[in-house]
Structure 1
Amino acid sequence: MNNKPILLVEDNADDEELTIHAFEKNRISNQVIVARDGVEALDYLFGTGAWAERDPRDVPAMVLLDLKLPRVDGLEVLQRIRADERTRFLPVIILTSSNEDRDRLQGYSLGVNSYVRKPVDFDAFIEAAGQLGLYWLLLNESPPC
């Protein structure tokens, strides 16, 4: 299994806790780095701001990206990820409560790998998060570096 960290970009503390719990319940042991807004996510990915000491070439295993974020929204984060050579092929999964056709279309137009609507039901969310982790960490074959 891919041992790189998972970047969870989520501003809702309850959804953050639920996602981490879902990974633990599904025995996904990767470290989860949490960014609570788009600026924090970009700082982590590109080694700037509070993450200036981090090597930006060391990309996470995947990014779970909420859309409705403070400071810089999720679609802008996705656009910047795809625009940079270091992160262009990084698996990005939009994990959001939005069911707007426009959000899905924009996400896929900007190169998201998957768009998952957060289930409202607790057990369904645990199952969905586990399946996401297992697919992207175990089954998916990333492009060569």
Structure 2
Amino acid sequence: MHKEILLVEDNPDDVELTRLAFDEAKIANRLVVVGDGVEALDYLFARGRHADRDRDALPSIVLLDLNLPKLDGREVLQAIRADERTRTLPVVVLTTSAEPFDVDASYALGVNSFIQKPVDFEQFVWAVKQVGLYWLVLNQPARP
């Protein structure tokens, strides 16, 4: 069974672009999409509308946008790293920003990788393939 990918993204166009890119890259993992930072944490910690989810079934990776409603990506990342259970969960920031502050702040909070979303679809597909190959195939995750 393929583990899932948690995509935390509030822009429906970017969600669809990511779905298309994963299809094009032939990444078979199930893509779970949440639209804001609060729902991302609810999903990961199995609370709120996700309370019936298995709390121990963490995704293989979290693809995290920074500019989110309710709770921004930096706060989500901080909460992920503060919890013993999710501390080693791979988190990749996937955002349109390339601001040095955003890059530095993300790494200071413990992000595993920071990727600026390419504007060109073919470049976006290439980036998604690289993320999939590395994080879902090559990387050896920490054991719980």
Normalised to the residue count of structure 1, the TM-score between the two structures is: 0.97
Normalised to the residue count of structure 2, the TM-score between the two structures is: 0.97
Look up the match of 2:100: 101
- The CA distance in 2 between the partners of 1:86 and 1:57, in whole Å, is 8
Look up the match of 2:79: 80
Look up the match of 2:63: 64
Q: For residues 116-131 of structure 1, what are the structure 2 equivalents within 5 Å? A: 116-131=115-130
Q: For residues 22-33 of structure 1, what are the structure 2 equivalents within 5 Å? A: 22-33=21-32
- The CA distance in 2 between the partners of 1:3 and 1:84, in whole Å, is 24
- The CA distance in 2 between the partners of 1:3 and 1:111, in whole Å, is 25
Q: Percent identity of the aligned residues?
A: 58
- The CA distance in 1 between the partners of 2:133 and 2:20, in whole Å, is 14
Q: Aligned pair 1:40/2:39, yes or no? A: yes
The alignment covers a number of residue pairs equal to: 144
Look up the match of 2:51: 52
- Gap runs ≥5 in structure 1: none
- The CA distance in 2 between the partners of 1:86 and 1:72, in whole Å, is 20
Moved over 3 A (4+): none
Look up the match of 2:90: 91
User: Contact 1:9/1:41 (CA < 8 Å) preserved in 2?
Assistant: yes
- The CA distance in 2 between the partners of 1:84 and 1:57, in whole Å, is 13
